[in-house]
Amino acid sequence: MTAPRPMRADARRNYERILSTAREAFLEHGPEAPLDDIARRAGVGAGTLYRHFPTRETLIEAVYRHDIEELSKAAHRLLAEYEPVTALELWIREHVAFVLHKRGLAATLKAAMDRDSETFALCKKLMNDAAAAVLTPAQEAGAVREDVRPRDLLLLGHGICVAAEGSEETADRLLTVMLDGLRPPKV
């Protein structure tokens, strides 16, 4: 089987514009946002939208996957730029900000996706891998309790977002408490 040909520059720009516009439309109108409206707002024809995304589900999955891939990449970027503990804290804060600001969108898109889809499985793996990438070095540096698991970070982050009810101030305060709780006990 041969690898797919890379997209031409104009096709790549159209693809990115459609994704960006779809994200906005889904945020405004949910996953039932009219696809023809998305195409019009992106400045492309309906044929171009359907060539890239043959179904509503493929567009929903592409938007969700793109956002999760960016959040996952952030973990690795932060690790390359900062000490492990700082990278962990910054990534958790970025994760919470993502969930807090896109909570409705992410929940809506996840609800519209098949939980058994490849995209859902990939996104779950990306997030678990990103959490492990920032957690493990911080644990190895002795700055984070050994019993904390990558999935714990994700669950705690989501829990903070639910408890904060959209308040950045509350989320920030709860994050500070959570980060203090990750530290190993003093003996």
Q: Which CATH number fits domain 8-54: 2.60.40.1930, 3.30.70.260, 3.30.420.10, 1.10.10.60?
A: 1.10.10.60
Other C-beta atoms closer than 10 Å to the C-beta of 39 total 22
CA neighbor of 130 nearest in space, from 160, 116, 150, 101: 150
75 contacts 98 by C-beta, under 8 angstroms: no
Stated length of the chain: 187
32 class by beta-carbon count within 10 Å (0-12 exposed, 13-18 middle, 19+ buried)? exposed
Instruction: List, as own/partner pairs, every contact residues 161-165 make where C-beta atoms lie below 8 angstroms and the sequence separation is at least 24, other chains included.
Output: 161/96, 161/99, 161/100, 161/103, 164/100
Q: Which sequence spans correspond to the domains of the chain?
A: 8-54, 57-182
pLDDT tens-place string over residues 78-90:
999 999 999 999 9
30 contacts 18 by C-beta, under 8 angstroms: no
Give the model's pLDDT for residue 54.
93
Please report, in tens digits, the pLDDT of each residue of the chain (187 residues total): 555 667 688 888 989 999 999 989 988 888 889 999 999 999 999 999 999 999 988 898 899 889 899 999 999 999 999 999 999 999 999 999 888 877 556 666 666 666 777 888 898 999 999 999 999 999 999 999 999 999 999 999 989 988 988 888 999 999 999 999 999 987 6
pLDDT tens-place string over residues 51-71:
999 998 889 889 988 989 999
Give the model's pLDDT for residue 106.
64
Using a cut of 0.85, tell me whether the model's pTM lies above it.
no
CATH architecture designation of domain 57-182: Orthogonal Bundle (1.10)
Give the model's pLDDT for residue 150.
96
Give the model's pLDDT for residue 2.
52
C-alpha to C-alpha distance for 34 and 90, rounded to whole angstroms = 36
